[in-house]
């Protein structure tokens, strides 16, 4: 490959392939050969083989193909026999369109602020077409960024009515995935089913400890020595979805509920931002209720 072509690679000529399949010899060779035969240059490849009884293989490949957007249809058609041979569950993704994320938020806006900062600085390569909230607290901040803000009051008694309005907006704005940036409402199974593994939540606890409401108060009552936060995909079971990222900080007997919350909020911001970044970069593969994250 000419040096000039290498240095002048267009973003839209770079794609990603995510693969999960039963582990067996020859998979990496077959994938590499397939990309080579289609003019592909592998830029990054990360793989993992599980050592449990399922014996599954996972790989993320980032590759370059000149004029990829014109060739991707044929590539995907040509990939099907290989997928059948190795029983591959796969996903191709491309850079012709940035992922579009709707942010849901309630009263506490620290996670929203972090996402807006990361987005504005260019560290989150996505579009934010709208923010939805059941409170008016964040309106001015969001609209200062030129992002539409929708206030939709919500509670458990009108949940289906509220979600119908939200789903209409998500369809209107062609949203790819949803970020729950401390949105303190439980979603119905119908809503979750519309966005499988595409709703990212931040829970203010190091799961599986302190599932549900008031985790900082419960952590204080238990005298915890570590405080943490967890970002996960949303499923029908409360705070039980596949975990994407977690972090912790040490605390002790001198901390009260207020200081635990302050420490925890700092962790929440960074944990959620990392999870979102990995999602938009297609670095996450979900298997059952677990994730493989190729950082």
Residues with a catalytic annotation lie at: 239
C-alpha pair distances (Å), 69 with each of 5, 25, 39, 217: 17, 31, 13, 52
User: 200 to each of 28, 152, 162, how far by Cα in Å?
Assistant: 30, 20, 19
Handedness of CA 47, 126, 275, 199 (dihedral sign): negative
Does residue 226 contact residue 248 with C-beta atoms inside 8 Å? yes
Do the beta carbons of residue 217 and residue 256 sit within 8 Å? Answer: no
φ, ψ (nearest 5 deg) of residue 219:
-65, -40
> For residue 68, which phi and psi values (nearest 5 degrees)?
-60, -40
């Amino acid at each position: 490959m000419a040096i000039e072509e290498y240095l002048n690679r267009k973003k839209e000529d770079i794609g990603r392939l995510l693969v999960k399949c039963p582990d067996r010899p020859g998979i990496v060779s077959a994938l590499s050969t397939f990309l080579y035969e289609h003019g592909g240059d592998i830029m990054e490849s990360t793989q993992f083989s599980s050592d449990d009884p399922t014996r599954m293989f996972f790989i993320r490949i980032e590759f370059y193909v000149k004029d990829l957007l014109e060739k991707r249809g044929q590539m995907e058609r040509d990939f099907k026999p290989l997928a059948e041979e190795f029983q591959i569950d796969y996903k191709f993704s491309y850079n012709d369109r940035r992922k579009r994320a709707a942010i849901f938020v309630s009263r506490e806006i620290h996670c929203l602020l972090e996402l807006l900062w990361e987005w504005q600085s260019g560290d989150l390569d996505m579009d934010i077409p709208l923010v939805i909230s059941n409170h008016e607290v964040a309106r001015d901040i969001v609209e200062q960024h030129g992002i539409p803000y929708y206030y939709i009051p919500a509670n458990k008694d009108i949940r289906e009515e509220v979600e119908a309005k939200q789903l209409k907006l998500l369809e209107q704005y062609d949203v790819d995935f949803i970020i729950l940036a401390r949105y303190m409402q439980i979603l119905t199974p119908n809503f979750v089913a519309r966005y499988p593994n595409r709703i990212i939540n931040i829970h203010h606890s190091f799961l599986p400890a302190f599932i549900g409401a008031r985790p900082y108060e419960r952590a204080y009552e238990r005298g915890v020595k570590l405080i943490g936060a967890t970002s996960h995909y949303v499923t029908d079971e409360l705070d039980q979805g596949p975990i994407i990222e977690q972090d912790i900080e040490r605390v002790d007997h001198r901390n009260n509920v207020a200081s635990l919350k302050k420490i925890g909020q700092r962790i929440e911001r960074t944990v959620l931002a990392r999870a979102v970044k990995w999602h938009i970069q297609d670095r996450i593969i979900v298997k059952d209720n677990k994730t493989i994250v190729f950082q």
